[in-house]
Amino acid sequence: MPSEREKMVSGEMYDPEDADLRDAHRRARRLADEYNRAIIDDEDRALELLTELFGSTGENPYIEPDLRCDYGFNIHVGDEFFANANCVFLDVCPIEFGDDCMLGPAVQVYTATHPVDAEERTAGLEYGKPVTVGDRAWIGGNAVLNPGVTIGDGVVIGSGAVVTEDVPDDVMVAGNPAEIVKEL
């Protein structure tokens, strides 16, 4: 029988109150808090912490404080990843960024979601859907990537956009919900 962590990562309904998941969440909070302090004075230590927190990192990742995430181990970033201040990654399922991605301040990436049915939702179970971002994407400040979206290569997401559907390569999207406003 799969563990609650295995169910969570695979997108099945899981119990977020599971002891292993609560411990993993506390670990992520501790590492993120330590990262947020270390990046100010000790970039080498901050990189060690980011490598310990995230599932994988490419060359030269950099995240301005404050970084927030649920578990960290589901976050994978490519080479030259940059995230500005106050980004949030709800990583109950994998979040994958390609190479040369840039995030503006307060970008929020959600994989966590809840049942629409009120009885199911109030029973306390959750599930998630992975988010994937291709190479050379630029995500403007305060943008939100909702569970299950895939963002193509070379995409620009305008500030404040709420992405609810997949975005093809080489376009700019903006608005709520985000729509293609320009081909690049």
DSSP string for the chain: ---HHHHHHTT--B-TT-HHHHHHHHHHHHHHHHHHHHHHH-HHHHHHHHHHHSSEE-SS-EEPSPPEES-STTEEE-TT-EE-TT-EEE-SS-EEE-TT-EE-TT-EEE-EE--SSHHHHHTT-BEE--EEE-TT-EE-TT-EE-TT-EE-TT-EE-TT-EE-S-B-SSEEEETTTTEEEEE-
Mean pLDDT of 75-97: 98
pLDDT of amino acid 118: 93
CA 164 to chain CA mean position, Å: 15
Comparing C-alpha atoms, which of 183, 184, 165, 134 is closest to residue 175?
165
pLDDT of amino acid 149: 98
Mean pLDDT of 107-129: 94
pLDDT of amino acid 102: 98
Tokens of 70: 């649920």
pLDDT of amino acid 11: 96
pLDDT tens column, 59-75: 999 999 999 999 999 99
Model-wide pTM > 0.85 = yes
CA 81 to chain CA mean position, Å: 13
114 is catalytic: yes
Find out whether 104 and 139 touch, Cβ atoms under 8 Å.
Answer: yes
pLDDT of amino acid 69: 98
CATH dotted code for 4-183: 2.160.10.10
Domain boundaries along the sequence of the chain: 4-183
pLDDT tens column, 126-135: 999 999 999 9
Please pick, among 27, 29, 68, 114, the residue that the annotation labels catalytic.
Answer: 114
